[in-house]
Structure 1
Amino acid sequence: MDTALLSLIVIVALALIFDFINGFHDTANAIATSVATKVLTPAQAIAMAAVLNVVGALAGTAVAKTISKDIIPQDYATLHLVGATLVSAIVWNLFTWWKGLPSSSSHALVFSMVGAGVAAGGWGIIIPKGVQKTLTGLVTSPALGFIVPILLFLLISWLVLRWMKPRVVTRTFRTLQIFSAAFMAFSHGGNDAQKTMGIITFALAAYTGTKIETVPLWVILSAAAAMGAGTAVGGWRIIKTMGFKVVDLKPVDGFIAETGAALIIDGASRLGIPVSTTHTISTAIMGVGTTKGFRKVKWQVAGRIVQAWIYTIPVCIALGWLVHKAILAFI
């Protein structure tokens, strides 16, 4: 087996490990609210999220094409660059998981890729349009995540809640929240698993020396399976932060937060915008919390989450750069 093929196999394995870690790191995105409101048991929520993450991952490839073509041109693709990207993103994901912080796996991957790209060929090889698309998602997804659930709450309050008795509201939205959690899991798989598809496609371009326009079927299936397996393992540290430490949730709150976040994520996936599902559901939970009064949201915990967001971009750029330089130094 030649060295290049062996390197490709190692990189594909690393990419699937990243996808697996992404699955258990971001399990909280899909199930934290339904577990916190006791609509689903943890086991039920994880099983449902695992299946629907896979289904979502099979639903499209627009985000995968953004990762594989729009951050760094495939002409500059090397296996060293892809390897450095994945190692950097995995390190950051594991660190934030250990700390229990819901950071963005998406932005960890994209900006690790930027850092490795700069190390490989300077800032000139970075495609501004692709990075701008990612930064647009970085800004708009949490903003919309905060605003949309507030608007949904006002709409549902006007249409439904003011006519229903509290007991009926709880019973009705306990059922509806199962569907909103399922939609959230589907949208999570549809956006997050595609990043791994994109990075593997980028690695294939590096190995073959040709441009690859379509994501191969085996890449789609393997990324979907890795995401589902990681989700099945679950990330209980982050579930605890997301579901229990930000705001006390009722079934109607969980339904609104999940529905609002899932609509935003699904829309971004269709537009090929890699967004952070973590950012979106986090701010959706905060948005719902503010409808009960600003004091109901534990802003200190929210502040720690925001810190993780802010650190992700510069840390991952630096990590990607350092790992790429380290790889070149040791080969």
Structure 2
Amino acid sequence: MDNTLIAIIFLVALALFFDFLNGFHDAANSIATIVATRVLSPRYAVMWAAFFNFIAFAFFGLHVAGTIGKGIVDIAQVDSYVIFGTLMGACSWNIITWYFGIPSSSSHALVGGLIGSALVKAGPTALVMKGIIKTLIFIVVSPVVGMLLGLIFGVIVYNLASRSTPSKVDHLFRKGQLISAAAYSLGHGGNDAQKTMGIIAGLLFSAGYLGTEFHVPLWIVLSCHGTIALGTMSGGWRIVKTMGNKLSKLRPVDGFCAELGASVVLFGASAIGVPISTTHTITGAIVGVGSLKGVR
């Protein structure tokens, strides 16, 4: 076995480790609202989220993987050193923010690491500015849209339920939140797992293992979805309290509206191939719903 193949195997394993950390670190995003509203216990919430993280491959295309693999930096400049720098930077940041309980973005860490590594190797000419600008715009816009959608869904739902008692509303949306949490976990798996797919596929393509056309083989798709689901199962409990309780005291109806708003953003971003922050999107949606407490 030559040194190049050994390096490729190591980097694929490192990419999957990042994917695991992504699920582990962002498990709180998937389950925070449903745990905060006490619809599910943390144990059952992570199993619920992990299942929908995994089956997301059946619902989404691979547009985000394509953006990460060849739409942020010039694929011709991608090599083992660029991928190593990208993954080490992103993994280190995820571990640091997990340790301190900071709800940061794995997506920002990965995209930033990729851009930084490519700059070190080849300078500004390595960057695909169109893809970077598009990604940066959506990174900024996605939490704002999440906040607005959370607010809008909250207004609609509270107006529709205005004649019902709070206990009846909570009973109804305890069931509804199972659906909204599933939708959010689908969106999380569909957007975040694809980022790792793009890294692995870009590495293999640059090393000549994918032929002459960039694509994402099925084994990469299944490996990434399985690994992020495993990471979600392992949990990231330090961040749950911050995400669910400190940001806003939620009822089931609030959790439903927040998850629904965030899901719409994630589904839309995945459809057009934009890697966004699932952390900041759900945070924005929670803030949007929570802002209604001052006017109700």
Same fold (TM over 0.5): yes
Aligned residue for 1:26, secondary structure, equals: helix
CA displacement at 1:211 relative to structure 2: 4.8
Inter-CA distance 23–220: structure 2 relative to 1 (3 Å threshold)? same
Partners of 2:139 and 2:75 lie apart in 1 by 24
Equivalent residue for 2:46? Answer: 46
8 Å CA contact 1:201–1:212 kept in 2: the answer is: no
Equivalent residue for 2:277? Answer: 276
Partners of 1:5 and 1:95 lie apart in 2 by 30
Structure 1: give runs of 5+ residues left out of the alignment: 297-331
Aligned residue for 2:293, secondary structure, equals: coil
The amino acid that maps onto 1:56 is A
CA displacement at 1:99 relative to structure 2: 1.0
8 Å CA contact 2:30–2:49 kept in 1: the answer is: yes
The amino acid that maps onto 1:101 is I
Partners of 1:188 and 1:60 lie apart in 2 by 14
Equivalent residue for 2:224? Answer: 223
Equivalent residue for 2:202? Answer: 202
Equivalent residue for 1:112? Answer: 113
CA displacement at 1:28 relative to structure 2: 1.1
8 Å CA contact 1:75–1:211 kept in 2: the answer is: no
User: Structure 2-normalised TM-score?
Assistant: 0.97
Partners of 2:213 and 2:18 lie apart in 1 by 22
Aligned residue for 2:93, secondary structure, equals: helix
Partners of 2:186 and 2:4 lie apart in 1 by 35
Equivalent residue for 1:9? Answer: 9
Partners of 1:87 and 1:259 lie apart in 2 by 33
Partners of 1:277 and 1:71 lie apart in 2 by 19
Partners of 1:133 and 1:111 lie apart in 2 by 14
CA displacement at 1:163 relative to structure 2: 2.0
Q: How does 1:50-199 map to 2 (within 5 A)?
A: 50-58=50-58, 59-158=60-159, 160-199=160-199
Partners of 2:215 and 2:163 lie apart in 1 by 51
Output one character per residue of 1:50-86: Cα deviation in whole Å (capped at 9) or x when no partner: 1100111443211000000111121111111111100
8 Å CA contact 1:187–1:262 kept in 2: the answer is: yes
The amino acid that maps onto 2:283 is S
Equivalent residue for 1:21? Answer: 21
CA displacement at 1:182 relative to structure 2: 0.7
Partners of 2:33 and 2:9 lie apart in 1 by 38
The amino acid that maps onto 1:5 is L
Inter-CA distance 99–211: structure 2 relative to 1 (3 Å threshold)? farther
Equivalent residue for 1:321? Answer: none
Partners of 2:157 and 2:108 lie apart in 1 by 33
The amino acid that maps onto 1:116 is S
8 Å CA contact 1:134–1:273 kept in 2: the answer is: yes
Q: Does the alignment pair 1:290 with 2:295?
A: no
8 Å CA contact 2:142–2:281 kept in 1: the answer is: yes
Partners of 2:196 and 2:126 lie apart in 1 by 21
Q: Does the alignment pair 1:32 with 2:32?
A: yes
Partners of 2:86 and 2:167 lie apart in 1 by 51
The amino acid that maps onto 2:253 is V
Partners of 2:84 and 2:38 lie apart in 1 by 41
Runs of 4+ aligned structure 1 residues displaced above 6 Å come to none
Q: Does the alignment pair 1:251 with 2:252?
A: yes
Output one character per residue of 1:219-239: Cα deviation in whole Å (capped at 9) or x when no partner: 101111110100000000111
Partners of 1:202 and 1:211 lie apart in 2 by 12
CA displacement at 1:36 relative to structure 2: 0.5
Partners of 1:22 and 1:60 lie apart in 2 by 20
Aligned residue for 1:292, secondary structure, equals: helix
Partners of 2:212 and 2:220 lie apart in 1 by 16
Structure 2: give runs of 5+ residues left out of the alignment: none
- Superposed CA RMSD: 1.4
Aligned residue for 2:216, secondary structure, equals: coil
User: Structure 1-normalised TM-score?
Assistant: 0.87
The amino acid that maps onto 1:266 is F
Partners of 1:103 and 1:244 lie apart in 2 by 16
Aligned residue for 1:249, secondary structure, equals: coil
Alignment identity in percent? 46
CA displacement at 1:168 relative to structure 2: 0.8
Equivalent residues, number = 294
The amino acid that maps onto 2:55 is V
CA displacement at 1:7 relative to structure 2: 0.4
Output one character per residue of 1:311-331: Cα deviation in whole Å (capped at 9) or x when no partner: xxxxxxxxxxxxxxxxxxxxx
